[in-house]
Structure 1
Amino acid sequence: MQGCNSASISFIIKQGFVACRAGHQDPSVVGYSQEDLALPNSLFDLFTSWSVKHRKTYASPKVKVKRYEIFKQNLRHIVETNRRNGSYWLGLNQFADVAHEEFKASYLGLKPGLARRDAQPHSSTTFRYENAMNLPWAVDWRKKGAVTPVKNQGECGSCWAFSTVAAVEGINQIVTGKLISLSEQELMDCDNTFDHGCGGGLMDFAFAYIIGKQGIHTEEDYPYIMEEGYCREKQPQSNVITITGYEDVPGNSETSFLKALAHQPVSVGITAGSRDFQFYKGGIFDGSCGVELKHALTAVGFDSDNGQDYIIMKNSWGKNWGEQGYFRIRRGSGKPEGVCDIYKIASYPIKNVPGWGP
């Protein structure tokens, strides 16, 4: 393969954004293919093209220069990471002009400490899938019609609400056969006893809110606005989707996690405070994660690729991030907590109806 031994970012650009990955060329590895744009003559040309693609505007030339400098630093990290990595790769996405500390402050929002500081969520101490046997080799709840399209939380730490809603959407479809997009905004506005809107929250508290209020409104009736608003929980003539309980997956147990995921989508907290996670583009992630449980996603399946086992995760940063908004993370790492601590905090809603159960 030509061009993989250069340390120059500009060289990578002139080669059509090719990077080394497991002995193969992938011209979209930093977010563009050769068809997306003519090869730029400079990094600033690339920045300009990226700005147009992601509809970025800046308040002043000074702000634009600042964002350009951040863009260059992020691009260097992407190129250097892709050169030495084989299982996953990074790419230019909508966060390419965002400094990493800014990113962590604005787009992460899991607050597991709430359970210790404010109150313990009243989750069942049982695990209904404990005795599940003969698990399938692979599950993909997207293919089973239990996953709504990828959503976008925007510049708000509301990942906890999106993770909660995706899990409830999943179990509701599994039980009723109807896939209905539900309202993250209701949780943002109304679930404020222990959760804190854009300031972060915890899925167990959100499940408890939905139970206590006898349901959650649909996305159509209560749409997302990317910021906290006024609570409108009582809406006449509006349908709500109910759950009857929730349970925690036993911590640090991949087997328990897979048992639950084989039956329904699962809300998951992970350590996602790394630049690799910020710019994840594709592949099976087993890299740097960070040190704190800061982000929430929804596990929607598991499978294997060329002998590598992985979990399929739905994120809430839009389709421009990752694999069309999804994230594959390695399983079978041998660590009880899993890569990025994905087995530490996981839970799922329960929707009991006559004649249905595990």
Structure 2
Amino acid sequence: MALSSCSRLLFVASFMLFSFFVVTSSDPAHDFSIVGYSPDDLTCINKLINLFESWIDKHGKKYKGLEEKLRRFQIFKDNLKHIDERNKVISNYWLGLNEFADMTHDEFKKTYLGLKTDQLPKRNQSPEEFKYRDFENLPNSVDWRKKGAVTRVKNQGSCGSCWAFSTVAAVEGINQIVTGNLTELSEQELIDCDTAYNNGCNGGLMDYAFAYIASNGLHKEEDYPYLMEEGTCEQNRDESESVTISGYHDVPANDEESLLKALANQPLSVGIEASGRDFQFYSGGVFDGHCGTELDHGVAAVGYGSSKGLNYIIVKNSWGPKWGEKGYIRMKRNTGKPAGMCGVNKMPSFPTKTN
């Protein structure tokens, strides 16, 4: 009996390196929703291996040996199944293969989150003290990227320093709004030097980091570059110029209208719960998936708008430009829940700066 082209390729491959990949014959056929691949491609074992190899090349992955590569392939296959199954049932956003596709969800959470809310500072809950309380004529949409107040998407890598990236994004924004200069600032300085309450790669909070910058200023990124690990504090590095802020304000918690008022005036630091599996593979659209409100990730809100009847907040992440919509996620607003999507309304804050 003649073999199909897929079977012939698999037969030949059995004598080669990839014969060691374990894929059970009891796996059901899946209509995988991966751009550029047909259902037949992704039910053929050899094609799955080819997809894995092309993904490895695209993302420059390196593994210590065959055993590790086999383990990562199995994780990759399981993640591929999750992406396919979710894309069949969700409609307003979609998932895709990204550089995290060889990580288990537990590995991902341990590596890329880092907001610590167990020792929250006392927050300003008084509406009377909220700086933008009386702001009127809220625009229909705001995008601080288009206004020149947002720097490139950065990548925290394998350091739980999201809190520093969230802080810096908000400070870069207000600095540009006040001075007209868009200047990349140093997350590494916060990781190394802001240690009274924050814990470097083991997490922290944006309000504490704002307080540090108000007291000490913050160096430029080029003068104090990111290491993806904790280093030695060099607060006076090269005596180079620092950017300063006057202080910070908290937006009243669980109040989306107040969040939008503040966001219409400047980028904000916000906390979200990003531990859901769909977050790992978010690729585009308005995210309205399942998530709670236990904040575990610091990000920056840089605008809001509407698309096809869905209102959203534009969020800048720190997982690099290959994640999501070139490093951003649009998160649904007007959910009817005070805490908002994934708790985005729970803990917004922003730096202040005078001329």
TM-score (norm 1): 0.87
- Which of 84, 98, 121 is matched with 2:89 structurally? 84
* Contact 2:293/2:343, CA 8 A, preserved across alignment: no
Instruction: Return the match for 1:183 from 176, 181, 186.
Output: 186
Q: Deviations over 1:162-190 (max 9, x none)?
A: 00000000000000000000000000000
- Structure 2: 5+ residue stretches without partners: 1-27
- Report whether the alignment pairs 1:256 with 2:258: yes
Q: What is the letter of the counterpart of residue 109 of structure 1?
A: G
The offset of 1:40, in angstroms, is 8.8
Q: Distance in 2 between matches of 1:288 and 1:42?
A: 32
Partner of 2:240: 238
Q: Please, which of 296, 304, 328 is the counterpart of residue 294 of structure 1?
A: 296
Q: Counterpart in 2 of 1:140? A: 143
Structure-1 separation of matches of 2:188 and 2:290: 31
Kindly report the root-mean-square deviation, in angstroms, between the aligned alpha carbons of the 2 structures.
Answer: 1.9
Distance 1:237 1:335, change over 3 A: same
Amino acid at match of 1:167: A
Deviation at 1:310? 0.5
Counterpart of 1:12 in structure 2 is 32
Q: Does the CA-based 8 Å contact 2:317-2:328 persist in structure 1?
A: yes
Question: Do the aligned residues in 1 keep the contact of 2:141 with 2:305 (CA within 8 Å)?
Answer: yes
Structural mapping, 1:1-358, within 5 Å: 8-9=29-30, 11-12=31-32, 16-17=36-37, 41-115=46-120, 120=121, 126-213=129-216, 215-290=217-292, 292-353=294-355
Q: 1:94-125 CA deviation, whole Å, 9 max, x = no partner?
A: 1000000111111000011122xxxx357696
Instruction: Return the alpha-carbon distance in structure 2 between the equivalents of residues 18 and 300 of structure 1.
Output: 37
Measure the CA separation in 2 of the matches of 1:308 and 1:14: 25
Paired residue total: 323
Asked if the contact 2:272/2:293 (under 8 Å) is kept, the reply is no
Relative to structure 1, the CA distance from residue 41 to residue 14 in structure 2 (aligned partners, 3 Å threshold; closer, same or farther) is farther
| CA distance in structure 1 between the aligned counterparts of 2:117 and 2:171, rounded to whole angstroms | 20
Report how far residue 211 of structure 1 moved: 1.0
Q: Is the 8 A contact 1:94 1:320 kept in 2?
A: yes
Cα distance in 2 for residues equivalent to 1:263 and 1:255: 13
Could you tell me whether the CA contact under 8 Å between 1:273 and 1:291 is conserved in 2? no
Distance 1:18 1:194, change over 3 A: farther
Q: Which ranges of structure 1 fall in alignment gaps of 5 or more residues?
A: 1-6, 20-33, 354-358
SS of 1:42's equivalent? helix
Counterpart CA distance in 1 for 2:224 and 2:124 is 27
Q: TM-score, normalised by structure 2?
A: 0.87
Please state which structure has a larger fraction of its residues in helix. 2
SS at match of 2:81: helix
Return closer, same or farther for 1:17/1:310 CA change in 2, 3 Å cut-off. Answer: farther
Secondary structure of the residue aligned to 1:329 is: strand
- Partner Cα separation in structure 1 for residue 354 and residue 102 of structure 2: 46
Please tell me whether the aligned partners of residues 168 and 187 of structure 2 are also in contact (alpha carbons under 8 angstroms).
Answer: yes
Checking the alignment, whether the CA contact within 8 Å between 1:146 and 1:171 is kept in structure 2 is yes
- Aligned residues: percent identity? 57
Q: Which has the larger radius of gyration?
A: 2
Pairwise CA distance, 1:268: 0.5
